[in-house]
Chain A
Amino acid sequence: MPYRLLRFGLSRKHPEPRMFTRHDSLKSGYDVVIIGGGGHGLAAAYYLARDHGIRNVAVLERGYIGGGNTGRNTTIIRSNYLTPEGVQFYDESVRLWQDLGEDFDLNLFYSKRGHYTLAHTDSAMRTMRWRAEVNKHYGVNSEAVDAAFVKRGIPMIDMSCAGHAPILGALFHEPGAIARHDAVAWGYGRGADRRGVEIHQQTEVTGIRLEGGRVVGVDTTRGAIATSRVLCAVAGFTPRVLDMVGLKTPNYVHPLQAMVSEPVKPWLDPIIVSGSLHVYVSQTARGELVMGASLDPYELHHTRSTLDFVESLCAHMLDMFPFLSEVNVNRQWAGLADMTPDFAPIMGVTPVEGFFLDAGWGTWGFKATPVCGKTMSYTVATGRNHQLIEGFAIDRFARYQLTGEKGAASVGH
């Protein structure tokens, strides 16, 4: 095998199929231009081509596909939200996740683990009961469980959390899962590419051309494109793209950091979240612990890492799992989270005709990738907001009708 590999490496021809076609130049125009080659943008391209027959689509990506928050999150998939809008939307996403690997013919390592949101106070227990009731009402499998149930599910946990935050119970969400995030971008990208969508990496959008309040084209670092429909799915770069079309939103950007430990033997099956301790953690198939915490405390458009983050996250991890004190942290990184005041996304049509927005994905975007692709492709194809995203419309702020999802954020940001 090593000789075959060596011969393959040295030969001039590499007959193995590539995941995507490389296009040397942009066409002069497309039916739809999608800004952002992350999971959301590629999923929208995939469903536009597969379900709506719109194949003359370009996905423009400034860096490389899946290199933004799609590749920087902690891959947790769940639908145990708080508002009816949120629960129905994320539950549709969880349904789509189930057979996505088969759709793509690609192993997403989708792994159903069960998801515990720990409650350390009476008021947290109250929120867990509230979420469980809303979830059950919409057919989502969630229940409020007591401390004994938590101990049975996570035998290695210190139930007193070093004595200062005893666990009273949890919200247990059985469908909670993790998946291999890169494969999601590649799967959607390959599926879209095979259906005629063009993916252009290292192509930065520098401007959006408007005429009479409607989109007519896009300027890029590789030339201008004519188009009447633009979908913006750029996470932390949303405010910069919105400046190009003169739209104001409540979007603000804070970095969100995460880190991963060295691989250890499998010992943690479920996904654990503690809002009070600002921790979410799961163990990957390779044995690494993937850990995240709350947002960095102030606005910043930079993916630098800080020691403050590692120190506080490690301290809280050790409260729950003191035996990890000898385990090393391997890597840490950050992504740019575009936050909203109500912790719900901003999706759908905008006051600029032909400009569609899939933004405000803050710290909760990965799990929604499939349903965002589905609903945004419908919205772009028909020009009308999909029924599932009506609660996330851009004009909800002017109407003071927010979709308060903060109680279901993984940790208190």
Chain B
Amino acid sequence: MKILVCPLNGPRPVSEFAYGGEVRQSPDPDTCSDAEWSSYVFNRSGSPGVKYEWWCHIASGFWFIALRDTARDVVIATYPAEAARRPLEPHRGAP
């Protein structure tokens, strides 16, 4: 059983969590072009890498951010959702 460390609930089995996709910055819908908007809506960074992702602890409804290597399925760190309010540091290399 894979364990994820929730910033609120501590280490819990991964089956208690829902994956919410990569943390992404939305372009300003009032000023961006149609192409920029459709790219934001649909396109994803599909290649493997170390990514900031949204996760939710379902039982407590708590959303947070995990830094995860999607090639090896290793969670490097987790942060409370407030971390998304400021720009996230690009992660360099393996932990």
- Residue ranges of A at the interface with B (Cβ–Cβ < 8 Å): 238-240, 242-243, 248-253, 297-302, 304, 306-308, 338, 341, 397-398, 400
Mark B44-72 against chain A: 1 for CB-CB distance below 8 A, else 0. 11111001010000000000000000111
Instruction: Report the stretch among B23-31, B35-43, B83-91 that lies at the interface.
Output: B35-43
Interchain CB contact under 8 A, A299 and B38: no
CA distance A239 to B41 in the complex (A): 17
Is B9 interfacial (CB 8 A cutoff)? no
Specify which of A297, A301, A308 is in contact with B70 (CB 8 Å cutoff).
A301
Complex Cα distance, B34 from A127, in Å, reads: 33
Q: Which of B19, B44, B72 has the most chain A CB atoms inside 10 A of its CB?
A: B44
Q: What are 23 contact pairs spanning A and B, CB under 8 A?
A: A240-B47, A240-B48, A242-B46, A243-B47, A248-B43, A250-B42, A250-B44, A251-B46, A253-B48, A297-B18, A298-B53, A299-B53, A300-B73, A301-B48, A302-B71, A306-B2, A307-B1, A308-B15, A397-B38, A397-B42, A398-B35, A398-B38, A400-B38
User: How far apart are the CA atoms of A306 and B71 in the complex, in Å?
Assistant: 16
Cα(A238)–Cα(B43), bound, Å? 13
Q: In the bound complex, how far is the Cα of B53 from the Cα of A28, in angstroms?
A: 43
B-side residues, CB < 8 A to A, are 1-2, 15, 18-19, 34-35, 38-39, 41-48, 51, 53, 70-73
Q: Which residues of B contact A338 (CB under 8 A)?
A: 46
B70 and A248 within 8 A (CB): no
- Do A297 and B35 have beta carbons less than 8 Å apart? no
A residues near B47, Cβ cutoff 8 Å: 239-240, 243
- Asked if A341 contacts B42 (CB within 8 A), the reply is yes
* A-B contacts besides A299-B51, A299-B53, A338-B46, 8 pairs, CB < 8 Å: A240-B47, A240-B48, A248-B43, A250-B42, A250-B43, A301-B48, A307-B1, A397-B41
Residues of A within 8 A of B48 (CB): 240, 253, 301
How many angstroms between the C-alpha atoms of A398 and B39 in the bound complex? 7
- Closest B residue to A242 by beta carbon equals B46
Closest to A399 in B: B38
Within 8 Å by CB of B44, from A251, A398, A400, lies A251
Contact of A249 among B1, B35, B46 (CB under 8 A): B46
Q: In the complex, what's the smallest C-beta–C-beta distance from A123 to chain B, in angstroms? A: 23
Residues of B within 8 A of A301 (CB): 48, 70-71
CA distance in complex: A240, B46 (Å) = 8
Quick check: A239 and B38 within 8 Å, CB to CB?
no
- Residues of chain A within 8 A of B70, CB atoms compared: 299-301
Q: What residues of A have a CB within 8 angstroms of the CB of B51 in the complex?
A: 299
Residues in B neighbouring A308, C-beta threshold 8 A: 1, 15
Cβ contact within 8 Å between A304 and B73: yes
Q: How far is the CA of A249 from the CA of B48 in the complex (A)?
A: 14
> Whole-angstrom distance between the alpha carbons of A307 and B14 in the complex?
12
> Separation in Å of the B20 CB from the closest CB of chain A?
9
CB distance from B54 to the nearest CB of A (A): 11
Complex CA–CA separation, A240 to B47 (angstroms)? 5
Q: Tell me how far the C-beta of B37 lies from the nearest C-beta in chain A, rounded to whole angstroms.
A: 10
A74 → chain B closest CB, angstroms = 23
Nearest 6 CB-CB pairings of A with B: A239-B46, A298-B19, A301-B48, A397-B42, A250-B42, A248-B43
A397 to B2, CA, bound (A): 35
Tell me how far the C-beta of B4 lies from the nearest C-beta in chain A, rounded to whole angstroms. Answer: 10
- Cα(A242)–Cα(B2), bound, Å: 31
Q: Establish whether residues B46 and A253, one from each chain, have CB atoms under 8 Å apart when the complex forms.
A: yes
> In the complex, how many angstroms separate the beta carbon of A207 from the nearest chain B beta carbon?
14
How many angstroms from the CA of A238 to the CA of B35 in the assembled complex? 22
Assembled-state Cα–Cα distance A251/B43 (Å): 7
Q: Across the interface, which residues of A come within 8 angstroms of B53, CB to CB?
A: 298-299
B41 CB contacts on chain A under 8 angstroms = 397
